[in-house]
Amino acid sequence: MLNRILAIAKKEKRQLRRDKRMLFIIFFFPVLLLALFGYAVNFDVSHIQIAVYDNERSEYSKEFVNGLINSEYFELVTYIERDEEIKKLLDEKKVQAVIVFPSDMSRKLYSREELKIQFLIDGVDGNTANVIQNYFSAATYFYSAKLIREFLSAKGQKGYVPLELRTRFWFNPDLKSSRFLIPGLMGMILILTAVVSISLSIVREKERGTIEQLNVSPLSSIEFILGKTIPHTIISLINAAIVLFAAFVFFGVEIKGNVFLLLLGTLAFLFASLSMGIFISTVADSQQVAFQVSAVASLLPSLILSGFIFPIESMPTVIQWITNITPAKYFIVILRSILLKGVGIAAFWEQIVFLIIFGLFFVRIAAVVDKKSKSK
Domain CATH code at residue 100: 3.40.1710.10
Number of domains in the chain: 2
Report yes or no on 145 lying in a domain.
yes
- Of 237, 255, 235, 259, the residue nearest 247 (C-alpha): 255
Report yes or no on 146 lying in a domain.
yes
Residue 49 vs residues 68, 75, 135, 274: alpha-carbon distances, Å? 11, 5, 13, 47
The tens digit of pLDDT for each residue in 183-205 reads: 888 888 889 888 888 888 878 87
Question: Do 14 and 34 belong together in one domain?
Answer: yes
Residue 317 has pLDDT above 80, yes or no: yes
The tens digit of pLDDT for each residue in 262-302 reads: 999 999 999 999 999 888 988 888 888 888 888 888 888 88
Question: Do 37 and 65 belong together in one domain?
Answer: no
Q: Three-class SS of residue 75?
A: strand
- Residue that is last in its domain, among 139, 154, 169: 154
Task: Give yes or no for a contact between 195 and 279, defined as CB atoms under 8 angstroms apart.
Answer: no
- Residue that is last in its domain, among 106, 138, 154: 154
Question: Do 34 and 55 belong together in one domain?
Answer: no
Question: Do 84 and 127 belong together in one domain?
Answer: yes
Burial 46-61 (b: 16+ CB within 10 A, else e): eebbbbbbbeeebebb
pLDDT averaged over the chain? 84
Question: Do 217 and 251 belong together in one domain?
Answer: yes
Q: Three-class SS of residue 317?
A: helix
Question: Do 352 and 242 belong together in one domain?
Answer: yes
- Residue that is last in its domain, among 154, 188, 221: 154
The pLDDT, as a whole number, for residue 164 is: 67
Report yes or no on 171 lying in a domain.
no
Residue 110 has pLDDT above 70, yes or no: yes
Residue 19 has pLDDT above 80, yes or no: no
First to last CA, the chain: 24
Residue 308 has pLDDT above 90, yes or no: no
CA–CA separation, 312 vs 115, rounded Å? 42
- What's the predicted TM-score (pTM) here? 0.78
The pLDDT, as a whole number, for residue 214 is: 65
Question: Do 228 and 333 belong together in one domain?
Answer: yes
Angle, helices 259-283/177-208, rounded to nearest 10 degrees: 40
Question: Do 193 and 86 belong together in one domain?
Answer: no
Highest-pLDDT range among 19-28, 111-120, 201-210: 111-120
**Phi, psi (degrees; rounded to nearest 5) at 54:** -100, 110
The pLDDT, as a whole number, for residue 100 is: 92
Report yes or no on 167 lying in a domain.
no
Residue 12 has pLDDT above 90, yes or no: no
Range of the domain at 334: 2-42+178-375
Residue type, 350: E
Instruction: Compute the average pLDDT of residues 238-261.
Output: 88
Instruction: Compute the average pLDDT of residues 119-129.
Output: 87
Question: Do 256 and 314 belong together in one domain?
Answer: yes
Report yes or no on 161 lying in a domain.
no
- Of 222, 228, 232, 230, the residue nearest 197 (C-alpha): 232
| β pairing state of 74-79 and 97-101 | unpaired
Question: Do 127 and 183 belong together in one domain?
Answer: no
Residue 17 has pLDDT above 90, yes or no: no
Question: Do 216 and 352 belong together in one domain?
Answer: yes
Question: Do 192 and 306 belong together in one domain?
Answer: yes
Task: Give yes or no for a contact between 345 and 261, defined as CB atoms under 8 angstroms apart.
Answer: yes
Beta strands in the chain (DSSP E): 48-54, 74-79, 97-101, 118-121
